[in-house]
Chains A and B, each alone.
Chain A
Amino acid sequence: MNAATTVGLYHWRALVLRWRSQPASPLARWVLTFALSAAAGVLLLGFAAAEGARRAELRRLGLDTIVIEAPSQSLLSEHALLPPDHWAGPLEKGGELLLLQQLPEPAFTPWGDPMPVFAAPLSVATLLGGGAARGGNAVWLTRTLPPGRRVPLSRRNLPFSAVTAVPSGNLEALGLGDFAIVPAAAADERDAQGRLDVILFRPGPDMAEHAVDAVRRLFAVEGSSPPSLRDPTPYRAALEAFTSTQRRWRTGMSLLLCLCIVLAFGSIGMLEERQTRYTQALLRSFGVSAASLWSVSLLENLLLANTALLAALVSSRLAARAVLSLAGSSLPAPAYVETASLLWLACAVNAGVVLSLMPLANALRRPVGAVLP
């Protein structure tokens, strides 16, 4: 055996003896880290659940989509998302774009209720209606009928059939109840006047800030009157504000956690130092470095703190699930806390452990001869 192994084994035996003779010392450190980390974990899970729910709601309602309405200048093509030279062409690169044309005449349900009708390129109709819309079928977007049913509708007293589907994604941004989408080819000369371009534009991350300005600029260049715009920016800003608040809380909570660990581990460490001072000085008199003795204490505390942290994260996840279940909440417990938050927590705990050992580092600078008689 070499010196490092021998000294390491000696430390391990001494540690086991110390833990056995005073179990309160490791237990206090473990339980404290566990309790604080579990509380922090529950808070992080709560934040993650709230943010996840807000994002899901934003997406479900299409509130991350800008709705632009402007009089149509050209007819839709059956095979292209946008007609050539359409004013919205430049937006295509900046995000997800869908052009619908609202037709002037409504469609009627079998019960005689009117609903708006939009024309879309065939590919779009197929996309929205799934397999059922292939072959040029219209789609009736409704939440009252099960999807995939073929239902007779009428427009201008002419019957046509449509397949039911549930509106989802950016179509939610239209803010409509029931409506129909028909293939572009279904619109005829009588629909030429009074059509309205409805563009659903979900800007990408690079364009999110400037999308509305970009649209306004496009119309200003054309010299046209400004379009009707429904801007989701305030909703996005609210989400950003929430995320930012969450980050501030996370930082504050991590600092508090770190401080608690520094104080608790530091106090216990100072008491333990009084017990181990003699053997540490003796080992130093043999030539064992103060740094290696400090590392042993660091390893001991890291072992306690990180096992407690791991157990706390697992427990907080289970606790969050149990609490949500007991509360009968439909909000799903988040499957995970984002890596950055976990790293913050781990950094806080481990930084606390390291800082709590600064007094020991100082004590290990005391001359051996001042300790050993």
Chain B
Amino acid sequence: MLFRLVDLTFRYRSDSDPVFDGYNLEVGDGLTLVRGASGGGKSTLLKLMAGYLAPQSGSVLTRHGRSPDREFMRREAGFVFQQFNLLPGTTLRHNLELAGLVAGIESRPLSASVEDWLGRLGISQLADTPVERLSGGQVQRAALARALAKAPAILLLDEPTSGLDDEATGVIAGVLLGWLSAGRSAIVSTHDPRLAVGLAAAGPRSIGLSPE
């Protein structure tokens, strides 16, 4: 079991409608797809699982039986935001290395890991490019490479292929399948049927969320 959500209530503002109200969920190992229309709470669910948001009541428990804390963010979770959020003012390589070093990975293995993931995602030639100069598709692949380079136990991906063409979607699906084949786990929020098809080989479970 990766996550257990117990009687979870979350709202962004005290005067707004709850995104989750007494919500219960268990997420097991392997691949889980979180599906649903926009505004259904897919991104919020992933951020709650990563510890980036705190519920007003109820709890999110990781596989260690604890709420996700800074240590969980640092070492265990690799997160790809919907807007990808690369660190400005740095190169692509530096973005990946910084996240890996904060996660506690030694310099030398980290450098090898960075090169490896940049290669698999087809952006090696952009390693020393400032992130401000990357195109939308390159940024998406860079964000995934950053999440993977820190060798997390769990990947949390929020719409990783939105706006990508078929080829780039295929590359990301292929990289994810390869990563999952080593027995690791991922939770992917998507409403992109191409990605769902691409990941079908991993036998994903699905969670459906819809706006209240």
Contact = CB atoms under 8 A, between A and B. Distances in A.
A98 interface: no
Contacts of B103: 286-287
A279 B53 contact: no
B53 A286 contact: no
Contacts of B74: 286-287
Interface stretch (B87-95, B169-177, B192-200): B87-95
B49 to A, nearest CB: 10
B107 interface: yes
Contacts of A3: 101-102, 104
Interface string A1-35: 11100110010011001000000000000000000
Contact of A286 (B44, B88, B94, B99): B99
B52 interface: yes
A240 to B, nearest CB: 56
B70 A369 contact: no
Classify chain A's interface size: 20 to 34
Contacts of A368: 47, 52-53, 73
Contact of B102 (A7, A278, A370, A372): A7
B73 A285 contact: yes
Contact of A282 (B12, B50, B87, B94): B87
A204 interface: no
B88 A373 contact: no
Contacts of B210: none
Interface in B61-104: 70-71, 73-75, 79, 81-83, 85, 87-90, 94, 97-99, 101-104
A372 B73 contact: no
B54 interface: yes
Contacts of B54: 367
Nearest to B103: A287
A1 B73 contact: no
Which residue, of B79, B82, B101, B107, has the highest number of chain A Cβ atoms within 10 A? B101
Contacts of B53: 367-370
A289 interface: yes
B101 A1 contact: yes
A282 B107 contact: no
Interface string A160-193: 0000000000000000000000000000000000
A283 B85 CA distance: 10
Given A285-B52, A285-B79, A367-B52, A279 B87 contact: yes
A280 to B, nearest CB: 11
Nearest to A367: B53
Contacts of B70: 284, 287, 289
A285 B77 CA distance: 10
B47 A369 contact: yes
Given A1-B107, A282-B85, A369-B52, A287 B71 contact: yes
B56 to A, nearest CB: 12
B98 A286 contact: yes
Contacts of B81: 285, 372-373
Nearest to A373: B83
B52 A6 contact: no
A278 B88 CA distance: 10
Which 3 A-B residue pairs are closest in the complex by CB-CB distance? A287-B74, A369-B52, A369-B47
Interface of A: 1-3, 6-7, 10, 13-14, 17, 278-279, 282-289, 367-370, 372-373
